[in-house]
């Protein structure tokens, strides 16, 4: 079997990658190698399904903004695909809470998130008590609330991506990869401009 792109593992990451590659129509043949179509031991079905923009790294925030928008309109994006499960997006927001030690970091993160267009609101503890009465801890000093964030059913999202990828031409092969041979060397190490990612390739 010869294919242009082989994706190892058909969980939500592999299936989403297969979907976007197949959707582009320019990626060539895509095969996803996945040994267990029941996903019994995969991480995805065990996830809580939280989709949040509260990150500290620029790239993560941008990726989450994209994901959030995509998940909110999941059914529309996949409207040409049959048998897409309802991922049950619930826009309930995310609330991060910190004690004094984390206050400065939370403020820095909120500044960065807001500068990237995220609706992220800092809330002092008395206001947290007023808006979220179930939260009562005297050591909390500050919160950051992103009301646009929410929750999905990750198993449904996985199957939505997988069905879409398959209907758009990606092939799922039931097998387990046991070894790989790399014929081409990886490109020269490129350093990110982001100091937090400087040591990652």
Give the interface with ligand FAD as residue ranges (CB under 6 A). Answer: 8-14, 33-36, 39, 42-44, 46-50, 176-177
- Strand pairing report for 50-51 and 94-98: unpaired
Query: Nearer to ligand FAD by C-beta: 43 or 196?
Result: 43
- What is the nearest approach in angstroms of ligand FAD to the Cβ of residue 89? 13
- Give the residue nearest to ligand FAD (CB): 11
Tell the smallest beta-carbon distance from residue 43 to ligand FAD (Å).
3
CB of 94 to ligand FAD, least distance (A): 10
CA dist 152 and 150 (Å) reads 7
103 vs 200, beta carbon nearer ligand FAD: 200
Give the residue ranges of DSSP H helices in 138-197: 154-167
Nearest-approach distance from CB 62 to ligand FAD, in angstroms? 15
Q: What value, to the nearest 5°, has the Cα angle with vertex 36 and ends 33 and 42?
A: 100
**Cα–Cα distance between 91 and 104 in angstroms, integer?**
27
Nearer to ligand FAD, 44 or 110 (CB): 44
- The Cα 183–Cα 17 span in angstroms is 22
Q: Among 192, 168, 176, 171, which residue's Cα sits nearest to residue 19? A: 168
CB closer to ligand FAD out of 46 and 119: 46
């Amino acid at each position: 079997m010869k294919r242009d792109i082989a994706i190892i593992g058909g969980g939500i990451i592999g299936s989403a990658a297969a979907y976007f590659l197949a959707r582009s129509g320019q990626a060539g043949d895509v095969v996803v190698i996945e040994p267990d179509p029941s996903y019994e031991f995969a991480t995805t079905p065990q996830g809580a399904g939280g989709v949040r923009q509260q990150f500290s790294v620029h790239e993560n925030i941008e990726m989450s903004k994209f994901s959030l928008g995509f998940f909110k309109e999941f059914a529309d994006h996949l409207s040409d695909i049959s048998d897409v499960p309802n991922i049950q997006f619930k826009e309930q927001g995310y609330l991060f809470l910190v004690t004094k030690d984390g206050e400065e970091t939370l403020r820095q993160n909120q500044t960065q998130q807001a500068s990237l267009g995220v609706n992220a609101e800092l809330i002092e503890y008395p206001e947290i008590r007023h808006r979220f009465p179930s939260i009562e801890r005297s050591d909390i000093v500050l919160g950051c609330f992103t009301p646009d964030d929410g929750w999905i059913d990750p198993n449904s999202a996985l199957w939505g991506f997988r069905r879409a990828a398959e209907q758009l031409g990606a092939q799922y092969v039931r097998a387990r990869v046991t070894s790989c041979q790399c014929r081409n060397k990886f490109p020269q190490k490129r350093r990110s401009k982001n100091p937090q990612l400087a040591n990652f390739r």
